[in-house]
């Protein structure tokens, strides 16, 4: 679609949307949000870009094929489950690394890793559907 208005708005919006999707992802452990909804917002951002600038450009922006994204995300999720083995716990047991960095408390965990996996899988699946619809 060749619309100046859409293109300009998209350029303004895409950064905000992507940032918001990461915000939702990180917020998800205790509050509404998480990998799934974050992934949907992220995919929506790229879909908007694809509508405004064409699919080739969106593809170039992504740099990785959506199907590979599914694979990477799924691998991360599986890894998050397996990591518990190294702590001698059953599969999917949550492991936490909480560190004080300056004034902030950084909380990293396997649930977060799992959520990042979900995030990538959702983006991959949605974009794969959109791109294959575009191909036909």
Partner 1 sequence: MSWLLVSPILIPLAAAAVSFALPERRMAQRTVAVGASALLLATSLLLLVEVATRGMVVMQAGDWPAPFGITLIADHLAAIMVVISAIMALATAVYALVDIDPAREGLGYHPLFLVLVTGINGAFLTGDLFNLYVWFEVLLISSFVLLTLGNRRAQLEGGLKYVAVNLVSSLFFLVSIGVTYGLTGTLNMADLAIALKDVPTGLVTILAMLFLVAFGIKAAIFPLFFWLPASYHTPPVAISAIFAGMLTKVGVYALIRAFTLLFTQDVPWTHDVLLWLAGATMLTGVLGAAAQNEFRKILSFHIISQIGYMIMGLALYTPLALAGAVFYLVHHIIVKANLFFVAGLAQRMGGSFELKKLGGLYRHSPLLSILFIIPAFSLAGFPPLSGFWAKLVVVLAGVEVGNWAIVAVALVVGLLTIYSMTKIWQAAFWSPTPEGVTLSGLPQKRLWVPVAMLAGLTVVIGLFSAPFMNLAEASAAELLNPAGYVEAVLGADAAAEYDVPIVLEETP
The footprint of partner 1 on residues 55-94 (CB under 8 A) is 65, 67-68, 70-72, 74-75, 77-78, 81-82, 85, 89-94
Which helix (H) or strand (E) segment holds residue 123: the answer is helix 110-135
* Smallest separation, CB 19 to partner 1 (Å): 26
Tell me whether residue 52 or residue 66 sits nearer to partner 1 (CB atom).
Answer: 66
Q: What angle do CA 8, 26, 105 make, to 5 degrees?
A: 125
Angle, CA 90 vertex, CA 25 and CA 119 arms, to 5°? 15
Residue with Cβ nearer partner 1 (90 or 102): 90
User: Of 23 and 97, which CB lies nearer to partner 1 in the complex structure?
Assistant: 97
Cα–Cα nearest to 120, from 68, 65, 66, 69: 69
**129 near partner 1, rule: CB under 8 A:** no
Asked whether 123 and 36 are in contact (CB, 8 A), the reply is no
Instruction: Give the binding site for partner 1 (CB under 8 A).
Output: 65, 67-68, 70-72, 74-75, 77-78, 81-82, 85, 89-94
């Amino acid at each position: 679609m060749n619309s100046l208005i859409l293109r300009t708005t998209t350029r303004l919006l895409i950064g905000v949307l992507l940032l918001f999707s990461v915000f939702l992802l990180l917020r998800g452990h205790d509050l509404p949000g998480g990998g799934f909804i974050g992934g949907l917002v992220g995919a929506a951002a790229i879909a908007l870009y694809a509508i405004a600038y064409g699919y080739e450009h969106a593809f170039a922006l992504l740099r990785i094929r959506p199907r590979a994204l599914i694979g990477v995300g799924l691998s991360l999720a599986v890894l998050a489950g397996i990591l518990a083995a190294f702590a001698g716990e059953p599969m999917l047991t949550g492991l936490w690394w909480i560190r004080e960095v300056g004034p902030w408390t950084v909380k990293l965990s396997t649930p977060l890793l799992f959520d990042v996996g979900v995030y990538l899988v959702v983006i991959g699946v949605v974009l794969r559907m959109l791109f294959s619809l575009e191909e036909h």
